[in-house]
Amino acid sequence: MFDTLKDYSILYSFDRSGYRRHARHFKPVDNRHIRDKRFLVTGGTSGIGASLAERLADNGARVTVTGRNRDKFERSSLAGKGIDFIELDMADFLDVTQSPLDRFDGLVCNAGGMPDQLKLVNDDYDLIFASQVIGHYLLIRRCIEQDLLPENAPIHITSSGGMYLQKLELDDLCWQEAPYDKVKSYANAKRAQVILNEELAHRYPGYTFSCSHPGWVGTDALREALPGFSERLGKRLRTNEEGADTIYWCLAQGPELPSGKFWFDREPRKTYPFFWTKESRMTRERLLALCETAWAEQQA
C-alpha cells in the first residue's frame, strides 16, 4: 500500500528513489535474445541511448548508433566498445529513407531533443514532431518494407512520462496559431509515439513492438532543455543507466514480450490516467494518415 501511494505521488515514482524501490522486485535478465544480435539505436551517442548501447555491447550484442554529429560519437567511449556509428538526421526524411543500412535484429527509436527555437521541417511540422514521430515512423516502415528486420524482431520506442498530461493535437504542428512551446510540443510528440506503438503492433503482428518512459533521467539533454527542473531535482534524477534499464529489459524478453504495451520500470502501465487526455479514433486515423503520407512522398 505504501509503495502504491508513492507511485501515485509521481515524484517518488519517476525519480531515482522510485527506480530503486521498483528495482527491488526485478529478476535477473536472461540475455539469450541479446547475445550475438545486431541492434540499431537512434540518438545513441549520449544519454539514455548511449547507456543502452553500452549495455547491449557488454552483453554480447553488435550495436550501431545513429546521431547527427560524428564528432560527438568519436568523443564518447562507444567506439572503444566496438559500437558503430551512422550519421543520420531523423528530421531529414530523405536521409532516413535512403541512407545505406544493414540488416538488424532489433530497432530502438530513441532519438529525442527539445530545441528552444521553433524550427520547421518541410513547412509541415516542427522539428520535434518531425524527428521523433514522422522520422521514426519512416525508419520503422523502411525496416519492415525492406526486410531489414527478421520476423518477431523487437521494435522499441522511447517515450516520456510528460505525455501523461497531453492529449494528442494535430491541428497546429507548425505553431502558426499559438506561440511555440517546446515542452508541450515534446509531450505531444511523445503521446503520438505511444499511439503509434499500439497501432503498429496491430498493423504488423509479425514484430514485437514496445514503448516505455524512462522516468526523470539526468541526461545532458535534459539539463540543457530544462535547467531549472534539473537543478531542482538534482540528485533525485535517475542515472542514464537506470533510464535505459526498461528498454534493455524489453529487448531481452524477445518475442515473449506482449506487443504494443507501454512499460515503466519493467511493468506494463496505463497510458491514460486522466480521461481528458484520451484522443478520438478519428484523431488516431489522422496521425496514421500523416505518417503514411510522409512515407508515400518519400517513395515518389
Kindly state whether residue 13 falls inside one of the protein's structural domains: no
125 carries an active-site annotation: no
Give the CA angle between residues 209, 110, 157 to the nearest 5°.
20
**Integer Cα distance of 225 and 221 in angstroms:** 6
> Whole domain around residue 89: which residue ranges?
26-299
Asked if the structure places residue 242 within a domain, the reply is: yes
pLDDT tens for each residue of 155-180? 999 999 999 999 999 999 999 999 99
Per-residue confidence (pLDDT) for residue 12, from 0 to 100: 81
Q: Which of 186, 207, 248, 272 is catalytic?
A: 186
Instruction: Answer whether residue 204 shows pLDDT above 50.
Output: yes
pLDDT of residue 300: 77
CATH number at residue 281: 3.40.50.720
Average pLDDT in the chain: 95
Q: Kindly state the DSSP code that residue 234 receives in the 8-state scheme.
A: G
What are the pLDDT digits (tens) for 72-108? 999 999 999 999 999 999 999 999 999 999 999 999 9
Tell me whether residue 9 is in a domain.
Answer: no
Residue 2's Cβ-count burial label (10 Å; 0-12, 13-18, 19+) is exposed
Would you say residue 15 lies in a domain?
no
Beta bridge partners of 155: 107, 209
> Is residue 1 pLDDT above 50, yes or no?
no
Phi, psi of 29 (to 5 degrees): -85, 130
91 in a domain, yes or no?
yes
For the residues of 247-276, what is the DSSP string, one character each? HHHHHHHGGGSPTTEEEETTEE--S-SSGG
Is 199 within a domain?
yes
Number of domains into which the chain is organized: 1
Residue 164 domain-assigned (yes or no): yes
Q: What is the pLDDT of residues 3-44, one digit of tens each?
A: 665 676 677 899 999 999 999 999 999 999 999 999 999 999
Residue 174 lies in a domain: yes
pLDDT tens digits, one per residue of 220-233: 899 999 999 999 99
pTM here is 0.96
